[in-house]
Amino acid sequence: MGLGSVDQLEGLGEGAQVAVAGLGDHDQVLDADAQLAGEVDAGLDRHHFAGREDVLGVLGDARFLVDLEADAVAEPVAEALAVPGGRDQLPGNAVDVLGLDSRLERRQRRLLGLAHGLIDCARGLAGLTGGEGAGAVGAVAVELGAHVEDDQLAAADLALSRLGVELYASGGTAKLLREKKVPVRLIEEYTGFPEMLDGRVKTLNPKIHGGLLALRGNAAHMKTIGEHGIVPFDMLVGNLYPFEATIARPGCTREEAIENIDIGGPSMLRSAAKNSQSVAVVCDPADYPLVLAQLKKNAGNLDEETMKELGRKAFALTARYDAAISNYLGAGQGGVEPFPVTFTAQWRKTQGLRYGENPHQAASFYADTGLPDEPTLGGAQQLQGKELSYNNIVDIDAALQLALEFAIPAAVVIKHTNPSGVGVSKRRLLDAFKKARECDPVSAYGGVIGFNRPVNSETAREIANTFFEAVIAPSYDKDARKILSTKKNLRVLATGGVFRWSNARTFEMKRVSGGLLLQTGDRHVLDPKDLKVVTKRKPTPEELEALLFAWKVCKHVKSNAIVYATKDRTVGVGAGQMSRVDSAKIAVMKAQHPTKGTVVASDAFFPFRDGLDVAAGAGATAVIQPGGSVRDAETIAAADEHGMAMVFTGVRHFRH
């Protein structure tokens, strides 16, 4: 008896016939396009299939044997099943009947509404190759809400199709696949329900979710989906409507945002992910090559770990998606309020750390799931060196954020999140680095470097002359990489891309006991036109250039912060003191170059004139500060006494 293979089934056309062989008294031949008018008695028994390449499906307890010449099949099958030992006449790997000693009972059962539904069921249960692995793939639902590169999707689905997999998709996705010559069946043809309500309802149907949720090892589940003509899908390829991209567009209305909330997509992903021991759920286009390669290598099966990981990623995606919706809807009409009623965010673990800030603390590093279009530590690549530590990561990010402040070539040296030195140069990055290191060579030892330009060989050679923990830059040329590779423990990171801030709104978070502080990022850029000269003397052009440079650095120093600088380098940095006057004194004490002729930046106002008196005594000639103290008049008078120029910014840069 010639039983149909999966490939033969693909060629089954209109008018083809299917032989239905049951364990009871009834075997029947059905036209593939005919409505079943009656009900078929089938004997009840347990079963499973050792080889699915011959037995293509099961509905309840009936076996379905497909052949293009079904007239020649039905009678021999019936005869074989009717006599003791007759099953031995069937192909050796076709059927393995369990529980033959159990009592058979008879009951009425409706098989299918349409014969082609029976074929769908057969196809789905057949799997790809006849293997019994949990990850065997035979029927795949494809549902895409967000943009995926057309050729990328078509190539993946065409590869699945050529592996013998049957694809199901709704209107838009099906149209795309058919345009790319990929065979696909419309979801509405399978479910018997058209897309409705302007596409809002497409896949919310028991014939979809039943096929995703049915437990393959549960006989009752398999019998139920069989009775209702439900295909047990082996894979779901899907993503979601682009809600986050929609609300990020300027002028997006609430109505537009609501219309881009996907309902069917997350529902399908969750159903498939819940059943990930049997259903592969592929929601990330980056996984297409991996999945296809494993299917080809493992005869149409995915291994258990891959199935679990795909399921985990699907739940992570739907959690992030729901979080974006919740944050948007909780942020008032149109999402204009920056802080929603409830705040939910998601990060992905990128690295386990040996320990945290101290050896007795455990730690891991998590990156944003949606990285902004700008240099970030979460998106940087480590090119060489020892594993990053918790403190390395904190310091490297501090270096990166300060380096982003400058438009001309700049170098930053960070120690314990504070800049020990910063330099800029319109000529060479090497010159900027030397200026930064020379500000405080003792503190620079064992520090972290940040650059805002690609590192070349001459700069790399100078880096190699001092012990540093890490360096981060946009990129490194070939010779620089070779030179730095001699420092095997030096952690070298590259951000790639364009080195500048994006226009994306950023948030900073700080945990407190029992809560979370959330604020917008401090990306204020000072416009020189907004400066208010409050002293009798105005700053000279060179002093103004130095003041603007010092102000950028001071913004990144822990409060209370005082910075002495010239127009292209820091000279002394006083950080993190409980009184501002002490920071002013420490900055002078740390200075390795003369402070005479420098300017001074203060992150907050001078509460008394004493800090300004210290600066004047060190030889500083100009001051930049926010202003706003009740004793501003006293401080202004002190500056005038010393012949200093002073400007108010009206902006404070506390950093705790």
314 within 8 A of 143, measured Cβ to Cβ: no
Handedness of CA 224, 230, 231, 234 (dihedral sign): negative
pLDDT tens readout for residues 463-511: 999 999 999 999 999 999 999 999 999 999 999 988 998 887 788 999 9
Q: Tell me the CATH number at 397.
A: 3.40.140.20
- DSSP strand pairing (507-512 vs 515-520): antiparallel
Rounded CA-CA distance 415/338 in Å is 33
Judge if 299 and 154 occupy the same domain: yes
The model scores a pTM over 0.75: no
Two tokens, residue 602: 């203060």
Judge if 105 and 22 occupy the same domain: yes
Q: Tell me the CATH number at 232.
A: 3.40.50.1380
Q: Is residue 376 part of a domain?
A: yes
Supply the pLDDT for residue 191: 76
Judge if 59 and 196 occupy the same domain: no
Supply the pLDDT for residue 140: 53
Judge if 145 and 113 occupy the same domain: no
Q: Buried b / exposed e across 574-606, counting CB within 10 Å, b at 16+?
A: bbbbeebbbbbbbbbebbeeebeebbbbbbbbb
Domain end residue (candidates: 308, 335, 362): 335
**Domain range spanning residue 558?**
528-648
Rounded CA-CA distance 351/348 in Å is 9
Q: Give the mean model confidence (pLDDT) for residues 282-299.
A: 82
- CA–chain centroid gap for 248, Å, is 17
436 within 8 A of 422, measured Cβ to Cβ: yes
Two tokens, residue 334: 């149109």
Supply the pLDDT for residue 636: 97
Judge if 71 and 42 occupy the same domain: yes
pLDDT tens readout for residues 140-168: 555 544 444 445 444 554 455 455 566 77
Judge if 15 and 94 occupy the same domain: yes
598 within 8 A of 571, measured Cβ to Cβ: yes
Rounded CA-CA distance 399/388 in Å is 15
Q: Is residue 653 part of a domain?
A: no
Q: Is residue 162 part of a domain?
A: yes
Judge if 200 and 319 occupy the same domain: yes
Judge if 107 and 153 occupy the same domain: no
Judge if 78 and 166 occupy the same domain: no
Rounded CA-CA distance 655/434 in Å is 27
Rounded CA-CA distance 649/601 in Å is 11
Q: Which residues pair with 455 in a beta bridge?
A: 476
Q: Is residue 523 part of a domain?
A: no
Supply the pLDDT for residue 335: 58
Supply the pLDDT for residue 162: 52
Supply the pLDDT for residue 82: 43
- Based on the number of CB atoms within 10 Å of its own CB, is 100 exposed (0-12), middle (13-18) or buried (19 or more)? exposed
Judge if 172 and 289 occupy the same domain: yes
Three-state DSSP at 507 gives strand
pLDDT tens readout for residues 516-564: 999 989 999 999 999 999 999 999 999 999 999 999 999 999 999 999 9
pLDDT at residue 111 tops 70: no
pLDDT tens readout for residues 177-214: 777 777 777 777 777 777 778 777 877 888 888 888 98
Q: Is residue 612 part of a domain?
A: yes
Instruction: Could you list the beta-strand ranges (E) of 122-216.
Output: 139-143, 166-169, 185-186
pLDDT: which is higher, 153 or 323: 323
Domain total for the chain? 4
Judge if 196 and 296 occupy the same domain: yes
pLDDT at residue 644 tops 90: yes
pLDDT: which is higher, 156 or 340: 340
Supply the pLDDT for residue 235: 81
Q: Is residue 156 part of a domain?
A: yes
Judge if 147 and 261 occupy the same domain: yes
Q: Is residue 185 part of a domain?
A: yes
- Based on the number of CB atoms within 10 Å of its own CB, is 108 exposed (0-12), middle (13-18) or buried (19 or more)? exposed
Domain end residue (candidates: 125, 158, 182): 125
Which helix H or strand E contains 28, and what residues bound it? strand 27-31
Angle, CA of 224, 227 and 231, to the nearest 5°: 80
Q: Which residues pair with 57 in a beta bridge?
A: 64
State the catalytic residues.
274, 416
Specify the amino acid at residue 514.
Answer: G
Q: Is residue 654 part of a domain?
A: no
